[in-house]
Amino acid sequence: MRIRCLIGVFAVVLCTSTAFAQDVIHKKDGTKVEAKILSVNEDYVEFKRWNNQQGPTFAISIEKVFKIVYSNGDVDVFNEPVEKPAQQPQTTSSQVTSNDMSDAILLSRIADLEAKAKHINAVGNWVGTISCFAVLGGTIAIGVVNDWGEGATIIVGTLATSAVLLGEISLFNSSENSYKSQADALRNQLKHTAMLSISPSIIKSSTNNTLASGLALTFRF
């Protein structure tokens, strides 16, 4: 009986010592490696895998090691584990509502049309000014050469200049107004545009048939 007890105690002690005989490498990424440590230096940790001590020798960079727990209970700590920063939610195209996307496109087109209208206006002013001087100067030169007389030359030059100026104004205004009309039409399609209008109003009382005048406020969105 005593022999059996001694054998049992010996087996438990042997199993316990075997279970804690390995070294454990704790890596910074949270993984563990059961090993037999061969050497530790400033750059690497050399070891053999505990379950294959007759196999090849491995080396791991010291920068990847958090700590080593040796079989005798000693602990060497090298680096604190790096916590991964919480990922910020990214806004993807699928998270943008169709209304917001539509409004953004409309606003971009409106801005483009308004820019074209301003450009047409500026070009029209320059072209009109240059044309007036050119037509007036040319008419005066022709009148002098043909001896129209001072009065006739001025009248013809003024009429010719006015005709050219009116034609150009009509042409450029037509193009400018076309762009502005397109911009206004797109602006009316905006889904999130709030408008506040003030207009005179007259209200008739149903009780004593009196009239009250004032201003009416209208808010639309």
Residues ≥6 apart with Cβ < 8 Å to 207:
none
C-alpha torsion angle, residues 69, 75, 78, 80 (rounded to 10)? 80
- Find out whether 109 and 186 touch, Cβ atoms under 8 Å: yes
Calculate mean pLDDT across residues 63-81: 87
pLDDT score, position 107: 77
Grade residue 14 by pLDDT with cuts at 50, 70 and 90.
very low
Domain ranges of the chain: 22-77, 98-204
Supply φ then ψ for residue 88, to 5 degrees: -80, 140
Q: How far apart, in whole angstroms, are the C-alpha atoms of residue 92 and residue 101?
A: 12
pTM check: above 0.85 = no
Report the mean per-residue pLDDT for the chain: 75
pLDDT score, position 153: 84
- The interaxial angle of helices 98-146 and 150-187, nearest 10 deg, is 170
Range with top average pLDDT, 41-45, 96-100, 127-131, 215-219 = 41-45
Top-confidence residue, 38 or 135: 38
Residue 174 has pLDDT above 90, yes or no: no
C-alpha torsion angle, residues 123, 128, 129, 133 (rounded to 10)? 140
Q: CATH fold of 22-77, please?
A: SH3 type barrels. (2.30.30)
How far apart, in Å, are the Cα atoms of 23 and each of 56, 65, 211? 17, 13, 99
- Find out whether 85 and 47 touch, Cβ atoms under 8 Å: no
DSSP-derived letter for residue 209 is: -
Grade residue 49 by pLDDT with cuts at 50, 70 and 90.
very high
Grade residue 47 by pLDDT with cuts at 50, 70 and 90.
very high
DSSP 70-108: -TTS-EEE--PPPPPPPPPPPPPGGGS-HHHHHHHHHHH
Kindly state the tokens that stand for 195: 């408008």
Residue 220 has pLDDT above 60, yes or no: no
Kindly state the tokens that stand for 201: 């109003």
pLDDT score, position 117: 85
Question: Percent of the chain scored above 70 by pLDDT?
Answer: 66
pLDDT score, position 219: 53
Top-confidence residue, 147 or 130: 130
Residues ≥6 apart with Cβ < 8 Å to 199:
215, 216, 218
pLDDT score, position 212: 58
Q: Which residue, 46, 30, 34, is CA-closest to 70?
A: 34
Calculate mean pLDDT across residues 151-173: 84
Q: Which helix (H) or strand (E) holds 66?
A: strand 65-69
Top-confidence residue, 22 or 18: 22
Grade residue 95 by pLDDT with cuts at 50, 70 and 90.
very low
Q: How many CB atoms lie within 10 A of CB 183?
A: 20
Q: How far apart, in whole angstroms, are the C-alpha atoms of residue 113 and residue 118?
A: 9
Residue 10 has pLDDT above 80, yes or no: no
